[in-house]
Amino acid sequence: MTLHVAFLWHMHQPFYQDPITRVATMPWVRLHGTKDYRDLAWVHQQVPSARATVNWVPSLMQQLADAANLDHRDAFLSVALKDASSLTDDDVAYLRQHFFSIHQPTLLEPHAGYRAIRDKVTADKPLTEAERRDLQVWHTLAWCGHVVRSETVAQRLFAQGSNFSEADKHALHEAICHGLADLPDVWGALARSGSVELSTTPYAHPILPLLLDTHAATAADPATPLPARRLHAPGDAAAHVRAGLAAHTETFGTPAIGMWPAEGAVSPAALQVFAAAGVQWLATDEALLDKSLGRRATASERLSPWEFEGVKLVYRDHDLSDRIGFVYADWQPERAYADFADAVANRRDALGGTERDGVLLVALDGENCWERYPSGIAGFLPGLYKAIEALSGVELATISSALARVPARPLPAMATGSWIDGTLRTWIGDPVKNRGWDLLSDARAAVHAHYADFSAIEAGDPELAQLLLAAESSDWWWWFGEGHSSPYDSAFDHLFRRHLQAIYQRIGEPVPDALRSPLAQPTPALREAPCETFSPAVDGHSAWFFKWHGAGVVSPAAGADHRAARLIERLHYTVDADTLYLRVDLGPEPRASLGTHRVELEVDGQRQQLWPGNNTTLCALADVLEVAVPRPLGADVALRLVLVNAHGDAVETFPGATPATVRLTSNAMTGWPRG
């Protein structure tokens, strides 16, 4: 009996090129190309016995090929490569606004030269010409991963630290482009060696069930509000799958036989599309296995592949995937390796004495989480692979090699949903998201008046077909409305509307006025609402509605990453003259959930323990955790909660990696106590 541990690293970036100006508006393809895509390949070269599946989205691979061209420019790079003596006031403002777009604790703070410029900008001091040039270099240099940092040009620039020259900027750019150009060959060689399996995703990363029929949202969650207009585009859905497979073969020279559907989103209708295209396996989330079975799957069922409509399905272990994506970055690596290996061993033992092998799927974003790891992917993943290889009865596997060893069970029914909560609510149901679907439906109807089906579009106007596929990307809806936010929300809104505008222009129809303004007016994202001032009783009970009425509220933060499973759900806060009061919502069984964990409060970088209580905190835990601590100084404070396990490891931060800035002043009430 063997447990086959199959990692799936999902590599994905949406289309950033403005379809009208042809300028890439954001730099994330190029920057992740200097780090994650090259570093993961290096890991497999250093640990040749390891096995994994690496999933490449075609929209990413197309843009990587563009970024490898020395003459290609994105909006950031155009400013970064401009001679510092020629920078306009607008260019300098752009540098100051955007060139600290980086996870600062791990990628900026270690570098004194970069820190010094950041501190001057924070203090609103002008930059000299030399400092502007250094900032142009540092934003790209600090993004460089292990492989690029080991190369001659980057090594020299890191050692130099400041006073970079114009020649230095261009030498770094040339080195990066050379590495990007090599990526398909490097990954193709790894696939031929058997170290990795390469898989893909439908072409532009669409939510296939919704593209087939937006009413599929209610099959996933009957309470989902639907857009005003129903979109039904089966030809587009099939084209995404066909184009994804074709692009993969063109890039790597060999076909992919498996797919990670965008966001793990599946439905019975989507399975038929995948099966018709010859896809042999799909990976998605264990929440959908439970929904498909109509009950919670047993431990051995979770370690089994399944089959539906002739397609094999493997379901990801949500907890273990999230530990890598959201937890281990704050741990000492050796502790993380031991914790993960223990969990894998427990799952191996869950197979019991059966003769049947099992498949444990660990699937997650292969890019974004590594920015939070102090040494990145190259400093963490080799040790994790080796810890798993050291376990008896366990082996690393590609998904296809695991499926060859473990027979699939027949799945009685296929649930509709995604990896997030088993629903599709991340992409539909919110008023702003629904408006996006209505705008897409209108554009699709306008195209239909000119072409009978998608095959006719492909034959008559391939560029129009490309515009439609790009407009159907899931990424636009990820950032629309509630749920996720970043400093670039407006840029994603703009790109979505530009794709629709280009569609109308392509078919010679007037662009609707609705596409000339944002889907939603921007709202401040950095400061939580002020709280009223009062003194709630600290007893752990929140049943009385007015007890916390008027308090400030902090909700979970989510950006490009999304953690679906959290212990801390929400934080309420208020103050009186001397005291900060907090209510921590922990779910239906707070005491059992906390177990041996402790809860710490970080205020302006300083931590104190909230639970279990101590001499400086008053706390109570019943249906919520309520705490009273001395009031921090100042009207605005940066705070977050940190959940720490018995070993002292941080296992969760709330609202996210970055603290919430909250205002402790407001429409002050009279300070009467609330029981």
Q: Where are the domains of the chain?
A: 196-410, 431-516, 527-674
Q: How confident is the model at residue 608 (pLDDT cuts 50, 70, 90)?
A: confident
Q: CATH fold of 527-674, please?
A: Immunoglobulin-like (2.60.40)
pLDDT digits over 158-167, tens only? 999 999 999 9
- Average pLDDT of the segment spanning 303-321: 97
How many helices (DSSP H) and strands (DSSP E) are in the chain?
A: 27, 23
pLDDT, greater one: 557 or 575? 575
Angle CA 586–587–591, to nearest 5: 65
pLDDT of residue 546: 57
pLDDT digits over 252-266, tens only? 999 999 999 999 999
DSSP string, 200-237: E--TT---HHHHH-TTHHHHH-TTPPPPSS----HHHH
Q: How confident is the model at residue 484 (pLDDT cuts 50, 70, 90)?
A: confident
Angle CA 660–666–671, to nearest 5: 110
pLDDT of residue 526: 36
Segment among 477-491, 587-601, 634-648 with least mean pLDDT: 587-601
Sheet of 618-621, strand order: 552-554, 570-575, 579-585, 625-630, 618-621
Could you give the CA distance from residue 401 to residue 199 in angstroms, rounded to a whole number? Answer: 13
CA atoms within 13 A on the CB side of 9: 25
In a 10 Å sphere around its CB, with 0-12 CB exposed, 13-18 middle and 19+ buried, how is residue 261 labelled? Answer: buried
Task: Tell me, rounded to whole angstroms, the distance of Cα 407 from its chain centroid.
Answer: 32
Could you give the CA distance from residue 415 to residue 48 in angstroms, rounded to a whole number? Answer: 38
Beta carbons within 8 Å of 92's beta carbon, 6+ residues apart: 127, 132
Could you give the CA distance from residue 23 to residue 498 in angstroms, rounded to a whole number? Answer: 12
Q: How much of the chain exceeds pLDDT 90, in percent?
A: 73
pLDDT of residue 593: 65
pLDDT of residue 531: 61
Segment among 10-19, 388-397, 587-596, 652-661 with least mean pLDDT: 587-596
Could you give the CA distance from residue 507 to residue 463 in angstroms, rounded to a whole number? Answer: 11
464 has pLDDT over 60:
yes
- Average pLDDT of the segment spanning 221-230: 96
DSSP 607: E
What is the chain's alpha carbon radius of gyration, rounded to the nearest angstrom?
Answer: 26
Could you give the CA distance from residue 54 to residue 199 in angstroms, rounded to a whole number? Answer: 6
pLDDT of residue 138: 98
pLDDT of residue 549: 65
Report pTM.
0.84
pLDDT of residue 104: 94
Query: CA nearest 496: which of 513, 472, 514?
Result: 472
The pair phi, psi for residue 619, each rounded to 5°, is -140, 155
147 has pLDDT over 50:
yes
> Within a 10 A sphere around the Cβ of 144, how many other Cβ atoms?
26
- SS3 per-residue string spanning 441-470: HHHHHHHHCCCCCHHHHHHHCHHHHHHHHH
Mean pLDDT score across all residues of the chain:
91
Find the DSSP H helices in 284-422: 286-293, 299-302, 318-322, 333-350, 376-389, 399-405
For domain 196-410, give the CATH number: 3.20.110.10
Type of residue numbered 614: N
543 has pLDDT over 80:
no
pLDDT of residue 374: 95
Q: How much of the chain exceeds pLDDT 70, in percent?
A: 92
Please give the C-alpha separations between residue 636 and each of 107, 528, 631, 668, in angstroms, as whole numbers. 26, 10, 12, 15
241 has pLDDT over 50:
yes
